[in-house]
Amino acid sequence: MPDDASPPLAGAALIKDEVSRLPDTPGVYRMFGEGGEALYVGKARSLKKRVIQYAQGRFHTQRIALMVDLTRSMQFTSTRTETDALLLEINLIKQLKPRFNVLLRDDKSFPEIVIRREHPAAQLRKHRGAHSIKGDYFGPFASAWAVTRTLNTLQKAFLLRSCSDSVYEARTRPCMLHQIRRCAAPCTGLISLEDYEKLVAEAEAFLRGKSRLVMARMSADMQAASDELDFERAATLRDRIRALSSVAQETQVNPETVEEADVFALHAEGGQACVQVFFFRAGQNWGNQAFFPRVDRSDEDPEIMAAFLGQFYEGKPIPRQILVNIEPSERELLDEAFSIKAGRKVQILKPRRGEKRELVDHALVNAREALGRKLAESSAQSTLLNQLAEVFELDGPPERIEVYDNSHIMGTNAVGGMIVAGPDGFQKNQYRKFNIKSTELTPGDDYGMMREVLQRRFARLAKEEEAGEAPPRPDLVLIDGGAGQLAAATEVMADLGVDDIVVVGVAKGPDRDAGLERFFRPGAAPYMLQPKSPVLYYLQRLRDEAHRYAIGAHRTRRAADMRKNPLDDIDGVGPARKKALLHAFGSARGVSRASVDDLTKVEGVSEPLAQRIHDYFRKS
């Protein structure tokens, strides 16, 4: 019998069918392709009126026409207001990373400074991530270098401690930081907690933009100390004032009229874009960073700026003022959305004159220069990847290269590392580490370790592909090692049904000499590349980066293992009881020597738990 079932709707026909059921209300729409991959996320004041435009077949660009043609399903979410729709759109773009949206590729959090208030003597330290620590946060800073520079200044000027609580409690005499005049040493009572709190308050005032007031107070105190012939205290205050004054000298751009703002400058050229971001807090330049969002040649600058700002501030603190060189599309809607998120008024401005205009122009110069460098690097990288495709007989230049290496010491704390590279260089947010878990491996079995790493990586890939997802799939896999590692890799990948990926083993030369590497491929004899080949240099860089990453992951795991306390392994001993036991006996060794009767005297330790602790150390 002939099959009378009509084919499923697709493209414009599918969209037209969906429109018939859509409400005339604000909301968010999502388009998905054949394999369920996200193609586009958009928001609308009216879902019905916005989505029907895609069904009419009149497109401004070929890109939109292709997007519509690839659409196989859609999802919709109605919202109360258009602002709510914008906030949801931003969140979904960040989650789904749709193919046809402008996309902020680097969305890591920025470092901050925190004055931690969980201890009577507040601690000054660097912080990144959620605000889970009780204290006052200041930032963001564009880089770890900018944070370190400011921390050094604050230590010189305000003498606040940076040591951990455990180090603080164990001190019996001042540390080296006190000797070089970077800490007031509250740990040993050289300064009272009341006077130390005054230093903390001064540091907080400085970070909140009251630097001139703080320096004026210091100058008055220095003069008073000099008048009282207390020249040592006067010299200390003089050094602190110099440290604060150095901030203005070290920073290239310190505005007079801008206390708190982020400055964005967009420059687009050759189908690529750069957004340069400067952070100004407390009237100081806290660094800048260049971003290269994924864009299309047909994207207009206002659309790029709007999409970038929305994604940039997802999960990040929003300043009161945002200065831009391109006014984003739907600026007023963004103003409202940011004000809701921040809980106060936020304003996006395109300055026309004055110091704010100078700050934006300065950022634009940096954006142009950064994009110029990026385009030059991309051209060289494209040539290099084409040559790499020829060397390894790939179908085309690889979009994703995965490189694997293992690191361990005599089989202990074994870690596998995976780095990722492609047309945009190293993709560090895609790096992965694999703690070797198998208990059946012989210590030092590199082949077994490589099997475990690849088994876990590609089993997940196969599972996600089977579920109709579109996970990142490598075009080329590089294995650190020769014929043995290659055989282990190809065996695992064949078992998982992903043996269509090209795998190459890279064996170090005699005495590990760079330039004498041999390359192993299934079914081919080992071979070498020309000593001065650009492809060889590129492969060496990939291998060295994988080696660096694997060693770093191994050292981190080894350090954590060395810091591990035996009490952590005893059932029933949580953080509070662990702290009480260490306070009572001084160390884990002291606990191990204690009798059951002594253990039961510790608050929170019952007799059964005391017996368990006692037995644990006797068995060990």
Evaluate whether residue 123 is within a structural domain.
yes
Identify whether residues 159 and 116 lie together within a single domain: yes
Identify whether residues 449 and 510 lie together within a single domain: yes
Identify whether residues 297 and 149 lie together within a single domain: no
Identify whether residues 553 and 575 lie together within a single domain: no
State the pLDDT at residue 384: 87
Identify whether residues 473 and 550 lie together within a single domain: yes
CATH of the domain at 347: 3.30.420
> Which of 127-136, 159-168, 220-229, 483-492 has the least mean pLDDT?
220-229
Q: Cα(405)–Cα(434) distance, rounded to whole angstroms?
A: 10
Confidence of residue 249 (pLDDT cuts 50, 70, 90): very low
Distance of CA 403 to the CA centre of its chain: 20
State the pLDDT at residue 1: 45
State the pLDDT at residue 605: 87
pLDDT value at 495 more than 80: yes
Evaluate whether residue 380 is within a structural domain.
no
Evaluate whether residue 103 is within a structural domain.
no
State the pLDDT at residue 221: 73
End-of-domain residue from the set 373, 392, 422: 373
What is the mean predicted confidence (pLDDT) over 590-612? 86
% of the chain at pLDDT higher than 90? 23
**pLDDT tens, residue by residue, 176-212:** 888 888 888 999 888 899 989 988 888 888 777 666 6
Q: Do the beta carbons of residue 341 and residue 318 sit within 8 Å?
A: yes
Identify whether residues 49 and 196 lie together within a single domain: no
CATH of the domain at 527: 3.30.420.340
End-of-domain residue from the set 96, 129, 152: 96
The single-letter DSSP state of residue 566 is G
Tell me the sheet residues that pair with 40.
31
The single-letter DSSP state of residue 102 is -
Identify whether residues 557 and 414 lie together within a single domain: yes
State the pLDDT at residue 169: 85
Give me 204's structure tokens. 């907080």
CB atoms within 10 A of CB 173: 9
**pLDDT tens, residue by residue, 134-151:** 888 887 887 777 788 778
**pLDDT tens, residue by residue, 537-590:** 888 889 889 988 988 888 877 777 666 667 777 888 887 888 888 777 777 778
Domain range for 600 is 566-619
Mean pLDDT over the full length of the chain: 84
What is the phi/psi pair of residue 507, to 5°? Answer: -100, 135
CATH of the domain at 591: 1.10.150.20
Evaluate whether residue 381 is within a structural domain.
no
State the pLDDT at residue 555: 82
pLDDT value at 93 more than 50: yes
pLDDT value at 165 more than 80: yes
CA end-to-end distance (rounded Å), the chain: 75
**Rg, C-alpha atoms of the chain:** 30
Identify whether residues 572 and 520 lie together within a single domain: no
Tell me the sheet residues that pair with 265.
276
State the pLDDT at residue 246: 57
Evaluate whether residue 315 is within a structural domain.
yes
Q: DSSP string of 225-290?
A: HHHTT-HHHHHHHHHHHHHHHHHHHH-S---SS-SSEEEEEEEEETTEEEEEEEEEETTEEEEEEE
Evaluate whether residue 534 is within a structural domain.
yes
State the pLDDT at residue 209: 67
Confidence of residue 252 (pLDDT cuts 50, 70, 90): very low
* pTM score of the predicted model: 0.65
Q: In the chain, how many domains are there?
A: 5
Q: Cα(11)–Cα(15) distance, rounded to whole angstroms?
A: 6
State the pLDDT at residue 360: 93
What is the mean predicted confidence (pLDDT) over 485-507? 88
Identify whether residues 413 and 458 lie together within a single domain: yes
Identify whether residues 418 and 455 lie together within a single domain: yes
**pLDDT tens, residue by residue, 437-448:** 776 767 667 788
Evaluate whether residue 387 is within a structural domain.
no
Confidence of residue 410 (pLDDT cuts 50, 70, 90): low
State the pLDDT at residue 42: 93
CATH of the domain at 52: 3.40.1440.10
**pLDDT tens, residue by residue, 343-389:** 899 999 999 988 899 999 999 999 988 888 887 777 778 888 999 99
Evaluate whether residue 541 is within a structural domain.
yes
Residue linked to tokens 């994988």: 546
**pLDDT tens, residue by residue, 315-338:** 788 898 999 999 999 899 999 999
State the pLDDT at residue 510: 59
What is the mean predicted confidence (pLDDT) over 239-265? 68
**pLDDT tens, residue by residue, 19-29:** 888 989 999 99
State the pLDDT at residue 509: 65
Identify whether residues 132 and 230 lie together within a single domain: yes
Identify whether residues 411 and 546 lie together within a single domain: yes
Q: Cα(168)–Cα(187) distance, rounded to whole angstroms?
A: 6
State the pLDDT at residue 323: 95
Q: Do the beta carbons of residue 397 and residue 386 sit within 8 Å?
A: yes
State the pLDDT at residue 75: 93
**pLDDT tens, residue by residue, 417-473:** 999 998 888 888 889 998 887 767 676 677 888 888 899 899 888 888 777 677 888
